[in-house]
């Protein structure tokens, strides 16, 4: 069964933790679901500029939203718990779960949602009949 | 007694028996003792394969469909290119398995795969076998906007290849020829990585090989003659690629890609050498400098003319760990900065150099003798392969990454309904396991009074009965390989480790009942499982001592 890779954004880490807390736990408080939650944090929009010896010249510019990727396991009903926070970066964004089938599923779903996107309508830089 | 004969279930990874989604028990033999295995990551998981080579093995995929069916409509025939047919003998001697293509001399004549989605900044290799009937012929392969690779085809089959960092999110892989020529073609492959791997035939779907998404990893690390089942937590490799040419900064140093054989057994290790004499000639990865929090850094390295690679803490006064690639000894001169240092021998002169640190601004320094200075002559250097950075206090197996971003390997879990191999409320469970500290649940056995095996701080293991909230054994510290036996009867639990009973016999508040499902590594720790036996009864103390000795 192909597991679903989905991507989410929250206003901050506390909001992400609140969403994570909605996922099933056992009576010890340990996660009892089969999902893999990976906190990506505030993504780098512009990387820092460093000098020759590594000293920071310009600080990195970070995203203002907190990113989380989830690799949903068998209990796909839990996907709905996070629906309000889902985002769809161009496949696969900057992080993946190392699964070829999940990568293909994400790309297919993305193109179903955004059929007119450039990603789903790539322009051949070299036309078929170019001489 | 024969413990194997008496066991109702015997799982021995030494047989390395499994397939995608299954890890086979050797007893019972009818399949009812087999474990379900899940991970869900193929491209992010590796194992060390069997001897004598002990190469690192990865999951692989040929991203091209119809990789050897050039008549298929997935391949566009452009500018006077026509397919004569599958009429040639392939490089491996199979008749009528390679294709003859006719280029009519139109400029930019080509056979071209329909657009493939790729990751921008990902590293991709393209390879194809080519031959001509007479003379030689110049052609080119790859994708034009990334830069084609020119090849000279001869009358002998040659596998041509090239690699590129993807500059666009779509690739149009091709063979192009501007002259009138008949070229024989076999087996086009397009894959992640710096070099071509063994050809994988594909049809309507991509071809896959090696470690698949749910392949149990029977691992032969450290020169083992028998494998153990490698069960690891989820981890993310924050380093974007094995290619040291993108995302890295080289200061006073240069690299040569694909310069020698790596621990993977492929010609994809990099030579790095100083371009000027002096201090702190180095390579560093920009986006992890500094890292925030605890991270474990690793890189495979091998001595060349130089044999010292030093990981320095930039903010700690420029001192660091000297990895001596001739002796295999790491000398940590920055004990405050580095929490954990290790060198692991991968054979053929390769070592995995590992260090754990907090809030580290790290440089890999080329060194003459373990200090910060190096002498350059324009050629002398050493070899590196496959850097990794993971946010935790100890290393896990190598997580290959060519995506240009980060990649996460999911947790390995085996599970089994034990109803058929347990006798209601009594059993003995024997484990031969090596485990690293990871605070987590190792075993969750449901509906048996909910037995849990917790891995706690301080590398301690302890068993727990959830419905009575009882710790049913004392805790014990896990060492480098332990044999553990837990016995349960209606009224008591006992624990034996390495030939001795641990603590006293525990009187159960209520008995365990109706054991149904056991999941191992459910809480995501790092284990190398050598053996798991289940007995229908509680073995005697003497048997448990013998079994665990």
Smallest CA-to-CA distance from B355 within B318, B397, B394, B324 is with B394
Per-residue pLDDT tens over the stretch B236-280: 999 888 899 887 889 899 999 999 999 999 999 999 999 999 998
Through-space distance between the first and last CA atoms of chain A, rounded to whole angstroms = 45
**Residues of chain A found within 8 Å of residue B286, distances taken between Cβ atoms:** 47-48, 50
Q: What is the pLDDT of residues B487-544, one digit of tens each?
A: 998 899 999 999 999 988 999 988 877 666 788 777 777 888 899 999 988 999 999 9
Is the pLDDT score of A128 beyond 70?
Answer: no
Residue A44 forms beta bridges with which residues? A62
What residues contact residue B331 under an 8 Å CB cut-off, 6+ apart?
Answer: B321, B322, B324, B370
Q: Is residue B198 predicted with pLDDT exceeding 90?
A: yes
**Residues B177 and B100 sit within 8 Å (Cβ to Cβ):** no
**Considering CB atoms only, which of A52, A98, A125 is closest to B41?**
A98
Query: Between B45, B280, B405, which is nearest A53 by CB?
Result: B280
Residues of chain B positioned with their CB less than 8 A from the CB of A37: none
Who wins on pLDDT, B476 or B521?
Answer: B476
Confidence (pLDDT) at A130: 47
Enter the DSSP assignment of B549.
Answer: -
State the average pLDDT over residues A6-15: 96
Q: Are B230 and B397 in contact (CB under 8 A)?
A: yes
Q: Do residues B78 and B89 lie in contact, with contact meaning Cβ atoms separated by under 8 Å?
A: no
Distance CA B512, CA A89 (A): 49
Per-residue pLDDT reduced to its tens digit, B126-181:
999 999 999 999 999 999 888 899 999 999 999 999 999 998 888 999 999 999 99
For this complex, say whether ipTM is above 0.95: no
Confidence of residue B204 (pLDDT cuts 50, 70, 90): very high
Half-sphere exposure of A76 (CA within 13 A, CB side): 6
Lowest mean pLDDT among A28-42, B34-48, B194-208, B439-453: B439-453
Binary contact (B213, A100; C-beta < 8 A): yes
Beta strand B476-477 with B470-471: parallel, antiparallel or unpaired? unpaired
The pLDDT of residue B417: 83
pLDDT digits (tens, 9 = 90+) for B271-297: 999 999 999 899 988 666 667 788 999
Which of B403, B39, B247 has the alpha carbon at shortest distance from A93?
Answer: B403
Q: What is the mean pLDDT of chain A?
A: 84
A128 and B78 in contact by Cβ < 8 A?
Answer: yes
Protein fold of B3-41+412-548: Jelly Rolls (2.60.120)
Quote the tokens at residue B120.
């921008």
Record: contact A126-B361, CB cut-off 8 A:
no
Domain ranges of chain A: 4-113
Residue B203: is its pLDDT beyond 80? yes
From the CA of A128, how many Å to the nearest CA of chain B?
A: 6
pLDDT tens digits for range B310-353 = 998 777 666 789 999 999 999 987 655 688 899 999 999 999 99
pLDDT of amino acid B175: 97
Residues in B touching A124 (Cβ below 8 Å): 115, 170, 172
Q: What is the nearest CA distance from B290 to chain A, expressed in angstroms?
A: 10
Residues comprising chain A, all counted: 131
pLDDT for the residue B289: 60
**Average confidence score pLDDT of chain B:** 90
Residue with more model confidence, B34 or A31: B34
The class of domain B75-205 in CATH terms is: mainly beta
With 60 as the cut, is the pLDDT of residue B90 above it? Answer: yes
> Does the CB of A109 have a partner CB in chain B at under 8 Å?
no
Tokens standing for residue B189: 């492959």
- Residue B119 Cα, gap to closest chain A Cα (Å): 7
Identical fold, B3-41+412-548 and B235-409? yes
To 10 degrees, the CA torsion angle through B320, B324, B325, B327? -150
Give the pLDDT score at A125.
Answer: 61
- The pLDDT of residue A131 is 43
Per-window interface: A 49-108 vs B, CB < 8 A = 50, 52-54, 69, 71, 73, 90-102, 107
Query: Would you say A42 and A61 are in contact if contact means Cβ atoms under 8 Å apart?
Result: no
| Identity of the residue in B76, B170, B408 whose CB atom sits nearest the CB atom of A95 | B408
Q: In this prediction, what percent of chain B has a pLDDT beyond 70? A: 95
Closest approach of chain A CAs to the CA of B107, in angstroms?
6
Average pLDDT over residues B23-27: 91
Top-level CATH class of B235-409? mainly beta
Half-sphere exposure of B264 (CA within 13 A, CB side): 27
Cβ contact B403–A126 (<8 Å): no
Count other C-beta atoms under 10 Å from residue A78's C-beta.
17
DSSP string of B431-492, one letter each residue: EEEEEE---EEEEEEETSS-EEEEEETTTEEEEEETTTTEE-S--EE--SSEEEEEEE-SSE
Average pLDDT over residues B423-436: 84
Query: B108 vs A50: CB contact, 8 Å cut-off?
Result: no
pLDDT, one tens digit per residue, over A75-99 is: 656 777 899 999 999 988 889 999 9
What global pTM score does this model have? Answer: 0.91
A29 or B47, greater pLDDT? B47
**Residue A67, beta-bridge partner list:** A9, A41
Write down the pLDDT at residue B1.
Answer: 52
Q: Measure the CA–CA gap between B209 and A67, rounded to whole angstroms.
A: 32
Higher pLDDT, B362 or A51: B362
Mean pLDDT of B462-466: 86
Q: What is the pLDDT of residue B398?
A: 97
Domain ranges of chain B: 3-41+412-548, 75-205, 235-409
Quick one: pLDDT band at residue A53, thresholds 50, 70, 90?
Answer: low
């Amino acid at each position: 069964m192909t597991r679903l890779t989905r991507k989410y954004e929250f206003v901050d880490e506390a909001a992400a933790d609140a969403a994570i807390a909605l996922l099933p736990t056992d009576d010890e408080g340990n996660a009892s679901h089969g999902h893999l939650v990976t906190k990506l944090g505030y993504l780098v929009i512009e990387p820092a500029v460093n000098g020759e010896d590594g000293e920071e010249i310009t600080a990195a510019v970070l995203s203002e939203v907190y990113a989380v990727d989830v690799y949903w396991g068998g209990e796909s009903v839990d996907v709905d718990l996070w629906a309000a926070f889902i985002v769809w970066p161009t496949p696969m964004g900057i992080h993946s779960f190392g699964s070829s089938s999940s990568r293909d599923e994400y790309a297919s779903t993305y193109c179903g949602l955004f059929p007119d996107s450039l990603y789903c309508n790539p322009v051949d830089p070299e036309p078929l009949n170019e001489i | 007694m024969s413990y194997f004969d008496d066991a109702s279930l015997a799982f021995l990874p030494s047989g390395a028996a499994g397939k995608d989604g299954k890890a086979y028990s050797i007893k019972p033999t009818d399949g009812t003792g087999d474990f379900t295995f899940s991970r869900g990551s193929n491209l992010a998981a590796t194992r060390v394969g069997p001897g004598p080579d002990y190469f690192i093995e990865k999951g692989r995929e040929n991203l091209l469909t119809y990789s050897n069916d050039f008549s298929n409509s997935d391949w566009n025939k452009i500018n006077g290119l026509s397919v004569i047919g599958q009429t040639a003998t392939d490089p491996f001697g199979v008749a009528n398995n390679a294709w003859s293509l006719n280029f009519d001399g139109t400029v930019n004549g080509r056979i071209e795969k329909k657009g493939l989605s790729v990751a921008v900044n990902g590293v991709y290799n393209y390879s194809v076998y080519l031959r001509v009937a007479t003379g030689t012929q110049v052609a080119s392969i790859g994708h034009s906007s990334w830069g084609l690779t020119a090849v000279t085809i001869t009358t002998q089959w040659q596998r041509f290849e090239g690699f590129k960092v993807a500059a666009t999110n779509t690739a149009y892989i091709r063979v192009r020829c501007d002259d009138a020529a008949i070229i024989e073609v076999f087996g086009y492959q397009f894959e992640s990585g710096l070099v071509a791997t063994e050809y994988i035939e594909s049809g309507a779907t991509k071809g896959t090989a090696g470690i698949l998404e749910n392949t149990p990893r029977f691992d032969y690390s450290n020169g083992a003659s028998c494998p153990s089942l490698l069960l690891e937590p989820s981890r993310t490799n924050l380093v974007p690629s094995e290619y040291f040419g993108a995302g890295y900064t080289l200061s006073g140093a240069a690299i040569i890609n694909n310069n020698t054989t790596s621990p993977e057994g492929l010609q994809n290790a990099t030579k790095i050498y100083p371009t000027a004499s002096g201090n702190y000639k180095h390579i560093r990865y920009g986006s992890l400098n500094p890292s925030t929090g605890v991270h474990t850094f690793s890189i495979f390295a091998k001595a060349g003319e130089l044999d010292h690679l030093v990981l320095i803490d930039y903010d700690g006064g420029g001192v660091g760990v000297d990895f001596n690639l001739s002796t295999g000894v790491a000398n940590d001169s920055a004990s405050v900065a580095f929490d954990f240092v290790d060198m692991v021998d991968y054979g053929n002169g390769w070592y995995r150099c590992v260090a754990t640190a907090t809030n580290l601004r790290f440089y890999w320094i080329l060194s003459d003798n373990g200090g910060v200075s190096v002498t350059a002559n324009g050629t002398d250097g050493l070899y590196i392969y496959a850097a990794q950075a993971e946010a935790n206090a100890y290393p896990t197996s190598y997580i290959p990454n060519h995506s240009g971003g980060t990649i996460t390997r999911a947790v390995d879990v085996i599970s089994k309904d034990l109803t058929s191999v347990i006798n209601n409320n009594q059993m003995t469970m024997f484990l031969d396991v090596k485990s690293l500290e990871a605070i987590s649940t190792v075993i969750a056995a449901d509906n048996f009074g909910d037995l849990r095996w917790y891995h706690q701080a301080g590398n301690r293991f302890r068993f727990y009965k959830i419905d009575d909230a009882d710790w049913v054994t004392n805790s014990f510290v896990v060492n480098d390989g332990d044999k553990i036996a837990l016995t349960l009867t209606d009224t008591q639990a006992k624990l034996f480790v390495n030939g001795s009973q641990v603590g006293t016999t525990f009187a159960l508040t209520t008995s365990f009942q109706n054991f149904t499902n056991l999941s191992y590594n459910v809480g995501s720790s790092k284990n190398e499982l050598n053996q798991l036996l289940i007995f229908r009864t509680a073995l005697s103390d003497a048997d448990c001592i013998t079994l665990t000795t």
